[in-house]
Amino acid sequence: MAGYADSPVEAAFFLDRWLRLQPVDQLDSATAWSFLTREIHRDPRRLVLHLARIRAAVGLDAEALYAALVDLVLTLEGRGRGLQRRMIRGAGKWLKAERRQMLERYLAGRLPLQSLPLSPRSVLQAGAVGMLQMTAATKPAAVPVDLIEAARSCLALGQLDQARELFEQRLFEEPDCRTARQELLAIYRALDDRENFARLRAHLQSHGCLDPDWEAFHAGALP
């Protein structure tokens, strides 16, 4: 990967190689980590970079993995809880026990986000000084994550469940978002996911935001 430029566009050609939580010895995790850390510094909203950085950290060490997970939850700021849970628990066996327990406490709502232990390898933690020498004033919340862009990034890499969760989160926040409704329905149809469809349909119905295609799928008129 050393031959790649620092462009997010070029990153798209190799990001999927770091999105599965299984060690792959031939990948240069250290180079990937450096590249992805720089990209996250430039734009912390790009969720696909965080997912790839978590994957790269699996090939490095437990502290890098913890830092990557913390940066993910800081970026999401309570949104996409299902995605946070999946990534933290999927990576759990590579974390040190104490750090894993702290993240589990955070997931359970027993530990505030700001109380997670600082990591010197975090890009976004307030007060942490990592490889990019970030200042304590850095606040990822200043520019919120674009959940639709993040979901589309997951879709492009075949991460359907992660994309579904992000579109659902957007609709719980803004049920009148037609783009999210259309793309989420396409996922429900592809997965034949009637359970999650019913849950979101009830939410949209309560806000008067049901589309004809949603009703057709509910009635069995759409495959």
H helix count then E strand count, the chain: 11, 0
Give the pLDDT score at 100.
Answer: 95
- pLDDT at residue 104 tops 70: yes
From residue 194, give the alpha-carbon distance in Å to each of 10, 45, 189, 217.
37, 30, 8, 9
Give the integer Cα–Cα distance in Å for 94 and 11.
Answer: 25
Give the integer Cα–Cα distance in Å for 50 and 56.
Answer: 10
Cα angle for residues 148, 94, 169 (degrees, 5° grid): 20
Give the integer Cα–Cα distance in Å for 131 and 10.
Answer: 22
Residues 132-158: what's their mean pLDDT? 60
pLDDT band at 205 (very low <50, low <70, confident <90, very high): very high
Q: Is 166 within 8 Å of 150 (Cβ atoms)?
A: yes
Other beta carbons within 10 Å of 108: 9
Which of 67, 42, 46, 45 has the alpha carbon at shortest distance from 57? 67
pLDDT tens digits for range 22-34: 444 455 788 889 9
pLDDT tens digits for range 110-123: 999 889 999 999 99
- For the chain, give the mean pLDDT: 80
Residues 56-63: what's their mean pLDDT? 92
